[in-house]
Amino acid sequence: MPKKIDIILASSSRSRRKILSDAGVKYKSMKPPVDEESLKNGFKGSTKKLALMLAERKALSVSKKHKESIVIGADQVLSFKGKVYNKPKTIKEAEKNFKLFKNKTHYLDSATVIALNNKIIWRNEQSPKMKVRNFSDKFLKNYLKEAGKEVTFSAGGYSIERNGIQLFSKIEGDFFTIVGLPIIPLLEKLRKIKSAAVIK
């Protein structure tokens, strides 16, 4: 019988942990020792390449100390009119961003990787297209009041798996990727990795 290999999610993201847990994957979660802000500030390239670089750095930073484990790294970069928008630091900042995105389209450049033996062995890149609807000021006020500090947890300030879906008029892309992980292709790859017997 093949040896079981531990799976480590190089992230403390609540939404990513929930996706894996709901899919029945047994894993450990570790916050990667990566300074995202400094990496972003010094990066020269597209937002897609930035998301991939961050995902790889996260996975490899954990894989260095856990070489025999399957390490999943992921990141998302919200791009709007050529500018990168990070997680809003305050509810006020989130409100300002929502007003900018209103009735317009932005992209959520997303990258997920798997590292094994300190090497990246799999990459998945997607860029869901997000059209924000022409909502009223009253709606936005009520949304921010209900969401509270949750708007500071994600790059866009929204959780489409909850009431954040009401911000949008159209979405093109994989639901799970937007939430945090492309779980279907990820599971397919995990099944193919020899000895990944933890995937039933």
Residue range 108-126: average pLDDT?
Answer: 97
String of DSSP letters for 118-142: TEEEEEEEE--EEEE----HHHHHH
Per-residue burial over 146-169, b if 16 or more Cβ lie within 10 Å, else e, is: ebeebbeebbbbbbbeeebeebbe
CA dist., res. 38 & res. 170, Å (int): 33
pLDDT category at 133 given cuts 50, 70, 90 is very high
Write down the pTM of the prediction: 0.90
Query: What is the predicted pLDDT for the residue at 158?
Result: 86
Residue range 32-61: average pLDDT?
Answer: 91
Query: What is the predicted pLDDT for the residue at 22?
Result: 96
Residue range 71-88: average pLDDT?
Answer: 91
pLDDT category at 2 given cuts 50, 70, 90 is low
Q: Span 7-192: which CATH code? A: 3.90.950.10
Per the CB < 8 A criterion, the answer to whether 155 and 78 are in contact is yes
CA dist., res. 86 & res. 80, Å (int): 11
User: Per-residue pLDDT for 1 more than 60?
Assistant: no
Told to judge if 137 belongs to the known catalytic residues of this protein, a careful annotator would answer no
CA dist., res. 181 & res. 74, Å (int): 7
CA dist., res. 25 & res. 40, Å (int): 31
User: Taking the domains of the chain in order of start, what are their residue ranges?
Assistant: 7-192
The least confident of 34-38, 89-93, 163-167, 171-175 is: 34-38
Catalytic-role residue among 6, 22, 35, 75: 75
Instruction: Name the packing angle between helices 91-101 and 137-147 (round to 10°).
Output: 140
